[in-house]
Amino acid sequence: SSLTKDLLPFSGMADLQRSVMNAFKQAIFLEIGSAARFMRLEKKEHMTLWNAILKSDLDTFSQVKEKLMCTNLVECKSVAVRLHLWSADSTHGSNCDVLLHRAPPLDEDGTANTVQDFLNLAMPPLLKDGQLAEGVEILLQGLQVPLDTPLYWLSLHASYLDHFVHLVARMPDTSFGDTVNQ
């Protein structure tokens, strides 16, 4: 039906696989500044990674993912973060935009960057006087995230299967979105 076609932009599993693997490759590129590690995986390892995702086989997934991750914080140029800006809209239901922004794991002094540091860099209107603006919540996997949480810790322990940390900034209404878009 046309409703299904509107909801699902994929014509089959091959499209979904291509989309997920491209997102994974993009995350690796953001982290180390090159997709070479991902591109050097043998086709068998690509298929192992995809099959592990399909079967929710985290052990196998982790074995392949480990080959792709930064080996230390110095090597890691950025944490792969997608910031989803979600606001309620009484007229249209809801509105969601996605921001992809560089998220260095460390500052110039070598201190771990936190969620607050990332928001201050990527989307300052979400903060007011070092705290979240009124009505704003930052969520990860449905849970509120403390602003002092290190980004790299989130990358290690709470990234999704596409290797991105997906933060959701839930805002009270679209009028806040107008402020963000200025």
> In this predicted structure, what is the pLDDT of residue 97?
87
Report the DSSP pairing between strands 165-171 and 81-89.
parallel
Write out pLDDT tens, residues 103-124. 999 998 989 999 999 999 999 9
- The answer to whether residue 149 scores a pLDDT higher than 90 is yes
Write out pLDDT tens, residues 28-63. 999 988 999 899 999 999 999 999 999 999 899 989
Listed residue (164, 132, 163, 135) closest to 148, CA to CA: 132
| CA gap 54, 77 in Å, rounded | 29
Residue 112 one-letter amino acid: A
User: Residue 8 — pLDDT band, cuts 50, 70, 90?
Assistant: low
> In this predicted structure, what is the pLDDT of residue 182?
45
> In this predicted structure, what is the pLDDT of residue 1?
44
> In this predicted structure, what is the pLDDT of residue 96?
81
The CA radius of gyration of the chain, in Å to the nearest whole number, is 18
Write out pLDDT tens, residues 62-98. 898 888 888 777 788 999 999 999 887 655 556 788 8
- The answer to whether residue 180 scores a pLDDT higher than 60 is no
Question: pTM for this structure?
Answer: 0.81
> Percent of the chain at pLDDT above 70?
86
Under a CB-based contact definition with an 8 Å cutoff, are residues 169 and 85 in contact? yes
88 or 101, which is more confident?
Answer: 101
